[in-house]
Amino acid sequence: MHRLLQNRSTLLWFLVPGLTLYIATVLVPIGSSAYYSLVDWSGIGDPEFVGIENYMRMFTDAALGNAIVNTLLLTVAELVLVVGGGLLLAWLLTKIYVFRQTLVVLYCVPIIVSTAAMAQMFKIFLSVRPPGIVNSLLAQINPAWIDLEWLTNPDTSLAMVALVTSYRDVPIYMLIFYAALLNVPPTLMEAARIDGAGAFRTFVSIQIPYILPIVGAVAFLVLNDALRAYDIPALLTAGGPISSSEVQSLYMYKQLFQNQNYGYGSAIAMLIVVMSMVLGFVITRSTDRKIVR
């Protein structure tokens, strides 16, 4: 078996299933979108080649500009909430020795709830008529807060999308961080304690730098998810009110399937791909450093 695994041709055969699936589900759709981004097509008849006209249109599309800004704001919020929140919860779990497994199960409840059910649940929690649980609790502090609008207020709708999305994603990455923190060598922790570092200081100065490559990988995944976010914005606010929570993927969907503008919608899809690659490269390069062991 060992000799078999040393054969490069054998290893290549093991890559074939995964590589085939990747080509069929990732590279082929990207190539198809790249082609359609160069044509004008409504889905009926023959596509008309227009070159980079769809890309030039982006520079004058104010609605797309608004969607890009919302997407970047959502991305920053998710990076802070998901990466920061996941790290903090994982660190707290390493400090808890009683009912730890019970807490892990409770933390992971959002993972087993479908996105559609979660969006509907938060719509009920944040509703104004009838008052949801959030406004009902706030009204106990100030009765005027019973009418606070969260999802229908342009100033708060995007923040609510970020909070609900982060609530769904934090448990997944918390488990990754938790496993990484458990693998930090005890000798490093002991040396920090001998030097007089407290628990939080050790976490910031020893544990986080040690698992920095894991943090970078998680940040890359969160970044890509945020740039391609569609389900929560569509289900929770539908991009409203007045496009205050409309993100790129939702705007792309409207161009493709509501306006039947497949060329321009595909160009927006390619923009999302390029943004994901560029920002992902920046994050991986900034966190890709080896830890001296």
What's the CATH code of the domain at 112?
1.10.3720.10
Q: Is residue 19 part of a domain?
A: no
Max CA pair span of the chain: 75
Contacts of 192-200 with C-beta under 8 Å, sequence gap 24+, read 199/95
Q: Is residue 21 part of a domain?
A: no
Q: Is the dihedral of CA 34, 37, 43, 47 positive or negative?
A: negative
Q: Is residue 225 part of a domain?
A: yes
Could you give the number of structural domains in the chain? Answer: 1
Token couple for 50? 């227009």
Residue 243 forms beta bridges with which residues?
none
What is the structure's pLDDT at 168?
92
What is the structure's pLDDT at 49?
92
What is the structure's pLDDT at 204?
87
Q: Which domain holds residue 196?
A: 62-287
What is the structure's pLDDT at 6?
64
Q: Is residue 39 part of a domain?
A: no
pLDDT tens for each residue of the chain, 293 residues long = 556 556 677 777 778 888 899 899 989 999 999 999 999 998 888 899 999 999 999 999 999 999 999 999 999 999 999 999 999 999 988 888 777 788 888 888 888 888 999 999 999 999 988 889 999 999 999 998 899 999 999 999 999 999 999 999 999 999 999 999 999 888 888 888 888 888 888 888 889 989 988 998 899 999 999 999 999 999 999 998 989 999 999 999 999 888 899 999 999 999 999 998 898 888 877 776 544 44
Answer for the pair 265, 255: CB distance below 8 angstroms, yes or no.
yes
Measured CA to CA in angstroms, residue 260 lies from 34, 40, 252, 257, 270 at distances of: 17, 10, 11, 5, 17
Q: Is residue 26 part of a domain?
A: no
Q: Is residue 194 part of a domain?
A: yes
| Start-to-end CA span in the chain (Å) | 31
What is the structure's pLDDT at 292?
40
Rg (CA), the chain: 23
What is the structure's pLDDT at 291?
44
Tell me the H-state helices in the chain. 2-5, 8-22, 28-36, 53-58, 62-78, 85-95, 100-107, 109-112, 115-125, 133-139, 157-182, 186-194, 199-202, 208-210, 212-227, 231-236, 248-253, 262-287
Torsions phi, psi for 40 (to 5 deg): -110, 115
Q: Is residue 38 part of a domain?
A: no
Q: Is residue 257 part of a domain?
A: yes
